[in-house]
Chains A and B, each alone.
Chain A
Amino acid sequence: MRLAELRNLSKRFGNRAVLDDITLQIDEGEILALLGPNGAGKTTLLKILAFLEKPDSGEVKFQGEAVTEKNAERMRLQSAMVFQRTLFFSTSVYNNVAYGLKMRKLPQNTIKEEVKKALRLVKLEGFEKRSVKKLSGGEQQRVALARALVLKTKLLLLDEPTANLDPKNVQIIEEVIGTINRELKTTMVMATHNMFQAKTLPQRIALMSDGRITEVGVPAEIFARLSRNLASFAAVDNTFTGTARITSAGTTIIDIGNGVQIEAAVQRQGLTSVFVTPQDIIVSKSPVVSSARNVFKGRIVEILDLGSLVKLKVDVGKSFTVQITKQSFSEMQLNLDSWVFLVFKASAVQVI
């Protein structure tokens, strides 16, 4: 059953066409991922589905009914969006999570119960009285999620829900998303950058680029065809294209250029695209003796401080994105231009 339908949507901001002739259906109970680089129009599309923005032309239908200025307010009660940048009311966790419920004029006791349940779901039990401003980035994002989930809307829109979070928080959030979809059959549309997430969470993927949807399909299909569309994913971390040949050991070596050869635990021949999740790469000051087949020496060319995590770009001939804890970063006394070794297993290499 179609929950929502977008037909020939276009939207401009000033001179720029942010969305260009978008047609998309959202089926009830599915998780649909919007995959694409920054500026592809994912956020705007989500906002239109949240009935926060109006398209310049085209049609939006929700549960068969056309969405207009007049009924948008009513429709919004059926959808909730979690923004990319965490935004809060300057008050307690409880008041934030309870906000939507208060707007819907539910009785106090019910609100209390529902907030408790929602916080338990995101593993923030007992956090009701805390001030949101004092929480960590990951905890804040979980509160934002709870704030939307507690409303039990038919449609949930998530804009990069796990961007820049540490693995623990990413895991919790991904679990919650899966649980809600399974148990409450909530329909979700999520925008993401993260190839791994896009492979595992959604039932369908829509590829977006320059305001257009280029392909829609199940993950397996999309990834199988992906190499042809790789230009779109230049922004995604650690994705490379190269020539593969099978070794006598039964593994595959892919030459991605500049003398960098990656060994993968699969069998491929010819033009292949691969990616390696940053979390799977170990950073070390000295070459580690281990079973890992991939060891590369390179220099740090970019450092991004994310609080408890530090993201690094290391040039080993090609640029790899890796992440380590702040503690490790200072213990190893790393800096721009520091030499490091990147180590990862052949099994960590995902072939697209």
Chain B
Amino acid sequence: MKAWQKILAVAVMATIVVVAGTIVYFEYFARRSLRISTTTSLYDTGLLDEVKRQYEATHSVDLNIISAGTGIALQQASSGDADIVLVHSPSQEKTFLTNGYGVCRRIVAYNYFTIVGPSADPAGITGKNATAALKSILAYGRSQTGQVAVWVSRGDNSGTFSKEQSLWRAAGYNQTVIANNSTESWYWTTGSGMADTLNVADQKSAYTLADLGTYLKLSKDGAISLVSIISGGKSLLNVYSVMAVNPAKVSNVSFTDAIDFIKWLVSDTGQQVISNYGKADYGQSLFYGAVQAIKDNSPQPDVSWITSYAYFNGTECPTQYRDDHSELYP
């Protein structure tokens, strides 16, 4: 046999070894693993690292957490590349359920987005509600000449961005039109993650929409000097839910482990982990546990905002998407 043929044969064998080795390892040797697809805003706060630590200590399952934008997370789940999704975009979650990809949805946490900006507040948004603030920002932006940044947007398919789009809609504008219009040069788009976008806004002394967790993290470390000007209110509500990928529709997903995880997440233990996270470092929680709040129907008006914003047909999860796991819905 010629020399190069011999080497090629070894090459093919080596490749097969790598592939087979991977398959065999995961089939027989590794612990079972659960693939969780989530959003960058949740992932970057570090909450899920803590969740993973606690869960793996008491369960013989490895949590493999992959972060992408909300849209990508849901798409990957429907291709079968995830077993669980943890996202914060109720409209997209509803589609996920009605298309049959998701089952057993539970709302696990909530907090509020915040509109942050320079402490001088040149657009004068202090004290206004979110929609009024955006109107002022737009007016201020249009009054500026040159390429001055007044608003920085994420412009990716994250939950934060879809919230931003809905706010512009409520204020009476079409976000896409503004973003693509070169004469609206006050509106900047980064196309990247939350930390990145906050950094740009900070450098340019501009306003942006941020999730509380990432904002607190960066400002506490002194990395940015933006202040949180508007927070709270129905329009800035941010609700996180968990869903399992439907084994009937997507093959090769770990369903039993997924249900176990959901049960843990809505249990007292899981909810404690969520609501305690950040208290030590930031002096306040980054997230509120949703389960107890909904059960107690308090605090108000937060809970009624949650049910109005994130419920489908009056429930967290319509019965046809509960997959016989009624125990999840006491």
Do A and B interact directly, with beta carbons closer than 8 Å?
no
Residues of B bordering A, CB below 8 Å: none
